[in-house]
Chain A
């Protein structure tokens, strides 16, 4: 930070300026005091407020995460329901196989596989990069599809597995037999009766999966050169920029807890028997 030719006095003055010469307990106390008043401190490396820095990097990460969750939910829930409906059949087994595979293929290996196949060989999507929403919706989406598909695979594996298990359990209940006996169409039995009763565990796993998603964001943004919060985390660690590392981790954890709180609250709508 001071350069290689810094004198001992210069280093000392920077340490004092950053408050690093004080005892750890005092540093922690001051940090907590600032956090509680909404101040995340100033980045050692970028020389701007950490809160501003996070604000600047929020859009790409938010866009990527939203598209990924949307994609994952739209694909995995139907897959899980069909697998439970045809329990033990070829579709069910294929989905379970895919699910184990999805858990095991590292995000970055998958990312490079997709880049190689879809971008380099087929030329459908750009290899890397990000366009802001302000630059037009189509280029924005065009750059975001491949990262979102990459990231959604593990999420699909997770949600599909839980959807299958909880729909399977619901299908064994008496009200399903009643619904079928009164002649309801199979689709309505599956969606209105089985899936609706399986909704709480599915919502829960979507919330827990946010942790995996955040981890995946860090890797995916690095591979696809997306200037978001995940990329910022890695850059901050490499630059040993501790206020930024603290700020980003705090921010991610806050989002994770907040999403899970919202999901807990959504149980009231998903299952009228639950009251808080």
Chain B
């Protein structure tokens, strides 16, 4: 049923392709993305040059997307960058959904917790997402796990609010009332009866969070507050390339195109999932 929607087909296919690229990166004519060669600096796309491996072996290499000011191969860095983006996007989405589900179920089902918890969530939502992420990274120093957590935190209130709203409407459904009347224990009602009915909207929301997380990771790296510059991420490649943008715009454009296409694919997939899984929401937006 899902697969018959064109948005799901296009977005899903593009994502599978990107996933394959990230897994197969070592076999797609790339070199180690951290290798640099002083003799191959600032090459134009398609230029032939050579690059020295860590063992001192000199390889002939065609720089399909050119090289940066250290003589690193942009093509290799962009392909390996796919890994970071997808890992961050998926991990941040899973993390924020997991926390949001637990908090949202609690707020929706435990009366006295609702007020205080939702005020805290309102407080987090008052701070723009990018600023929270920047502040968390500044506090902990950037590494892959801290960047993922930093990106997930501002998304948690959104998931919490969604789950809470769903719980409040689902708990009035006759089948929940029936379960309560039969003396079903509360945890079983929460996880057995209510949670399964929140999965469709959560999947849609999770997809959008994934797209936003990929974008946010690139922004953090680009600003120089994300992952360390030697790790090949799209944001880092662009941050390195921006210094020489006027002379060598391709250092910014190639990772930029990959980033835009990836985010677009995830967003299109999200729209498709929303249209098929959540027809009520589709009519509104």
Contact = CB atoms under 8 A, between A and B. Distances in A.
Are A and B associated in one complex?
Answer: yes
Interface of A: 100-101, 103-109, 112-113, 115-116, 120, 127, 161-162, 165, 211-212, 214-215, 218-219, 222-223, 233-234, 237-238, 240, 242, 245, 248-249, 252-253, 256-257
A112 B245 contact: yes
B224 A234 contact: yes
Contact of A100 (B224, B256, B257, B271): B271
B283 to A, nearest CB: 9
Contact of B130 (A103, A112, A218): A218
A104 B225 contact: no
A116 to B, nearest CB: 5
Interface of B: 126-131, 134-135, 137-138, 211, 215, 218-219, 222-225, 238, 242, 245-246, 249, 252-253, 256-257, 259-260, 263-264, 267-268, 271, 284-285
Please provide the 4 A-B residue pairs with the shortest distance between their CB atoms, ordered closest to farther.
A215-B130, A109-B256, A104-B264, A211-B128
B135 A256 contact: no
A120 B253 CA distance: 15
Q: Is the interface of A mostly helix, strand, loop or mixed?
A: helix
Contacts of B284: 165
A127 B223 CA distance: 18
Given A100-B267, A108-B222, A237 B128 contact: no
A109 B245 CA distance: 12
B238 A252 contact: no
Nearest to A169: B284
Contacts, number: 109
A223 B264 CA distance: 22
B223 to A, nearest CB: 5
B249 A112 contact: yes
A247 B154 CA distance: 19
Contact of A215 (B128, B137, B263): B128
Given A101-B264, A103-B267, A219-B222, A109 B259 contact: yes
A237 B134 contact: yes
Contact of B131 (A105, A107, A109, A214): A214
Contact of B238 (A105, A108, A115): A108
22 contacts: A100-B264, A100-B271, A104-B264, A105-B263, A106-B219, A108-B219, A108-B256, A112-B253, A113-B253, A113-B256, A120-B246, A165-B285, A211-B129, A212-B128, A215-B128, A218-B223, A219-B130, A237-B138, A240-B138, A245-B138, A253-B128, A256-B126
Contacts of B131: 214-215, 218, 233, 248-249, 252-253
Contacts of A223: 242
B267 A104 contact: yes
B246 A106 contact: no
A220 B24 CA distance: 34
A198 B222 CA distance: 38
Contacts of A242: 138
B19 to A, nearest CB: 18
